[in-house]
Structure 1
Amino acid sequence: MKNKFNIDFRIFENYYSADYFKKTREILNKYKPKQLVTMQWFQRSDNTVVCGIEVIKEILRLSNIDNLEVEAVEDGEIVNALEPVLKITGLYNDFAHFEGLFDGILSRASTIATNARKISKAANNKIVINMNDRMDYFTNQQIDGYASYVGGIRNLVTEASFEFLEEESNLNGTMPHALIASFDGDLIKATQAYKEVFPNNNLVALIDYNNDCLNDALKVCNAFRGEIYGVRLDTSQGLVDKSLQNMKEKSNELHGVNITLVKLLRKELDKSGHNNVKIIVSSGFNEDKIRDFEINNAPVDIYGVGDAITKNKIGFTGDIVLIDGKKQSKFGRENTFSSKIKSIKYK
């Protein structure tokens, strides 16, 4: 059977299920084997982009459970606090072990998708590259790539990030500082080597290696006139670029990759005839920093984003709200109607 999301089949052996769910399942299997329950999943934040429903459908499809009634929103649906996104009705023994598992799937994927949407919106639909591979455990890349795509950031940097997507990988990458270091800090030689080995790639030069972005940008653009697609600034927040060190600052606004530096870079590139060279920025960018750049008309063409993709965790909770069709739930956890939820088939 095809396994689109590469589900680990140990899920069905309770390997990933919390112990108390397994014990509850055994208890109810003894005392309430025919009890029909409705479980409902929700979260507590407004404007959440739901993601992970397709993964849950895949788990249910691969299971040996045939008699569940499943209702859910679609991946990419935007919901508010307390809106149900998934309801499952059936024998509790059949899906009790999935409660915490589904919480986690929805939480991780919806966090990524929601952050991706917010960041994309802040960037005014400019290109955003998801560079979170270096910020998280590597086995998250598949689900994070899928969720990032659902949220609107579709420029990914690893093959694993495309594994759950129904399209060919279109990897986005520039050059790391390690490449420049390997050529003794010579940006021109590193760029030439990149060009020779990957002649069909966009030629993007990393220009902050010497903390001299303006001079290095002009140097590499002049050396490869008409061939440079873009230059990337990745200056650490603890540094002030050499071009700005004679300026006075009030509150670290000249540190790292900043608006003043980007505007000055654009001015110098245009003055030297490199009007078509794109400016790519990375290092510490999140929704707020991107919005600030956009409000101040910073001439950025492409944003690179790392751990901002996984911040502001969204937690989901599954609760029993009906037993044998009658209200039965923890106080404050009512069976809630939502017009966004539709009946779905998982088999």
Structure 2
Amino acid sequence: MSAADTGRGWPAAGAFGPTQALDDGTIRSRTDAYFNRTRDIVTRFGDRQVTYALFIRRPVISAPRLMTEWLDGVARARGISLSYDIMFPEGAWVGAGEPLIYITGSFVALADLETLLLQKLGPPCVAALNAYQMAMALPGARFMAMEARHCAGFEMQEQMAYAASVGSRAAQREGALGFVGGANDATAGFFGDGRGLGTMPHALVGYAGSTLRAAEMFHSTYPEADLVVLVDYFGREITDALEVCRAFPDLAAAGRVGVRLDTHGGRFLEGLDPQLSYAALERNTPGTIRRYRSETELRHLVGTGVSAAAIWRMREALDAAGFPKVRIIVSSGFSVEKCLSMADAHAPIDLVGTGSFIPDRWSETYATADVVSYDGEARVKIGREFLLRKARDRAVPARESAS
């Protein structure tokens, strides 16, 4: 599938070195030994045409493209022909245990690919569902993918950014704004852009010595860029946000200033405490706090860190000071659950920066593969007969990979 198939940008072929390991030696070293031994045995005793079914035990959103593009590359490198049926188009909901894809080809050619195929299928599908749910929880907010710092290397980062783009497009088809970009250039193509998004880290504010000075330095260096300023470094979120807005009134009036709330969970936003947090919510979203809440929901609504109350208090302060067009950007643990709490509180969020679509429980990302036919004869281990029941109307036509 090319960029033209989605109408979006797509990183250049071969851009992701770690995922493009196509030679037999590298594949053999990275796959489980019993698959390598299976390939050796089948080579000795006679090849067969087999069909694999790949599935995940929990509901997901279909995100198979990194896997199928890698598989296409292996087919070209090995000079083999194979075919695969994608049972759910990219971005479609998939029920628990439903086969996502059937792959047919030589057993010798496919036996040692299972480990790497599963690595490239499960995590993106689960993360795509998380990204979709986050975007749907806050359909009027834009999201920026900030997964890179939480990933175990670039291959995982690639998978997570791709997943965010897939889940986002699924949400956008239902009216949500979704993810508009990522935090670095390497994965920006997944979001139809050539550059990563972002302005400044806390380190720049510390270097500058004040929030205002950091804003001045940034604007002097990047005068054409919108000015988004971290305002929690000195614990004066409201004071420093208003100081920056007053220093750049034209940008603020034009909607080109944003304040990013990243207050850590050890303290409240400037001027808030538990009682004042409850009051801020009651002023702006009466009734929200009165319903039954779990401890986690209460923390998201009126607790320390970037709570719904903190966001509402910042909006009140900006509006009262004459800066209604200054945007509020939030970060710090915006998971599906936190986004749902923010939606319930009607928090005035313009953009969410998050990497929390990365699955919390990695065991939920485990994909599984079973051979379901040998030379056209249906055969699968007891208990996996459900894999034999192919959908009558395939969502995506069979795709041929050949040398």
Same fold, TM-score > 0.5, yes or no:
yes
The CA distance in 2 between the partners of 1:23 and 1:283, in whole Å, is 46
> Per-residue deviation at 1:149?
1.3
- Give the SS at the match of 2:117: helix
Corresponding residue of 1:336: 389
Residues 249-268 of structure 1: CA deviation (Å, up to 9, x unaligned) = 79653300111111111111
The CA distance in 2 between the partners of 1:344 and 1:10, in whole Å, is 19
Aligned pairs, number: 343
Residues 305-342 of structure 1: CA deviation (Å, up to 9, x unaligned) = 12333434422111011112222211121213123353
Structure 1, unaligned runs of 5 or more: none
Corresponding residue of 1:302: 351
Taking a change above 3 Å as real, the CA distance of residues 48 and 142 of structure 1, as seen in their structure-2 partners, is closer
- Give the SS at the match of 1:59: helix
Q: Which of 43, 47, 61 is the equivalent residue of 1:29?
A: 43
Superposition CA RMSD, Å? 2.2
The CA distance in 2 between the partners of 1:167 and 1:61, in whole Å, is 28
Higher helix residue share: 2
> Per-residue deviation at 1:245?
3.2
> Per-residue deviation at 1:248?
6.2
The CA distance in 2 between the partners of 1:319 and 1:234, in whole Å, is 45
The CA distance in 1 between the partners of 2:375 and 2:143, in whole Å, is 48
The CA distance in 1 between the partners of 2:41 and 2:153, in whole Å, is 37
TM-score by length of 1: 0.91
> Per-residue deviation at 1:123?
1.7
Quick check: 94-103 or 4-13, which moved more? 4-13
> Per-residue deviation at 1:214?
1.4
Letter of the 1:320 counterpart? V
For the pair 1:173 / 2:226, whether they are aligned, the reply is no
Q: Which of 119, 122, 127 is the equivalent residue of 2:137?
A: 122
> Per-residue deviation at 1:142?
2.7
Native 8 Å contact 2:84 2:400 kept in 1: yes
- Give the SS at the match of 2:264: coil
Taking a change above 3 Å as real, the CA distance of residues 183 and 342 of structure 1, as seen in their structure-2 partners, is same
Alignment of 1:150-299 (within 5 A): 150-152=166-168, 153-162=179-188, 165=190, 167-184=192-209, 186-228=210-252, 229-245=257-273, 247=275, 252=299, 253-299=302-348
Residues 24-60 of structure 1: CA deviation (Å, up to 9, x unaligned) = 11112112x2322111101112243333344344334
Taking a change above 3 Å as real, the CA distance of residues 267 and 233 of structure 1, as seen in their structure-2 partners, is same
Q: In percent, how many aligned pairs have the same letter?
A: 27
Taking a change above 3 Å as real, the CA distance of residues 188 and 4 of structure 1, as seen in their structure-2 partners, is closer
The CA distance in 2 between the partners of 1:12 and 1:327, in whole Å, is 29
Letter of the 2:216 counterpart? Q
The CA distance in 2 between the partners of 1:248 and 1:265, in whole Å, is 13
> Per-residue deviation at 1:12?
2.8
Taking a change above 3 Å as real, the CA distance of residues 30 and 57 of structure 1, as seen in their structure-2 partners, is closer
Native 8 Å contact 2:82 2:104 kept in 1: yes
Taking a change above 3 Å as real, the CA distance of residues 47 and 20 of structure 1, as seen in their structure-2 partners, is closer
For the pair 1:325 / 2:376, whether they are aligned, the reply is yes
> Per-residue deviation at 1:11?
4.8
Corresponding residue of 2:55: 42
The CA distance in 1 between the partners of 2:186 and 2:329, in whole Å, is 23
The CA distance in 2 between the partners of 1:4 and 1:326, in whole Å, is 40
Letter of the 1:300 counterpart? I
Corresponding residue of 1:62: 76
The CA distance in 1 between the partners of 2:347 and 2:221, in whole Å, is 33
Structure 2, unaligned runs of 5 or more: 1-12, 169-178, 279-297
Quick check: 138-147 or 216-225, which moved more? 138-147
Corresponding residue of 1:92: 107
The CA distance in 1 between the partners of 2:142 and 2:68, in whole Å, is 26
The CA distance in 1 between the partners of 2:180 and 2:29, in whole Å, is 32
The CA distance in 1 between the partners of 2:59 and 2:359, in whole Å, is 17
Taking a change above 3 Å as real, the CA distance of residues 99 and 259 of structure 1, as seen in their structure-2 partners, is same
Native 8 Å contact 2:62 2:94 kept in 1: yes
> Per-residue deviation at 1:62?
3.0
The CA distance in 2 between the partners of 1:166 and 1:269, in whole Å, is 31
